Amino acid sequence: KGQGRNLDCIPCHVTSVLTGNEPEALSLAADLQQVGCEACHGPGKQHIIDPAKWPLTRNPGEEICRRCHRPEHDDGFEFKSKLDRLGCPAGLH
Average pLDDT estimate for 35-44:
82
CA distance 58 to 65: 13
What pLDDT score was predicted for residue 49?
A: 92
Q: What is the mean pLDDT of the chain?
A: 73
What pLDDT score was predicted for residue 40?
A: 85
Q: What is the pLDDT of residues 16-34, one digit of tens each?
A: 555 555 555 555 566 666 6
CA distance 85 to 29: 14
pTM: predicted TM-score of the whole model, two decimal places: 0.56
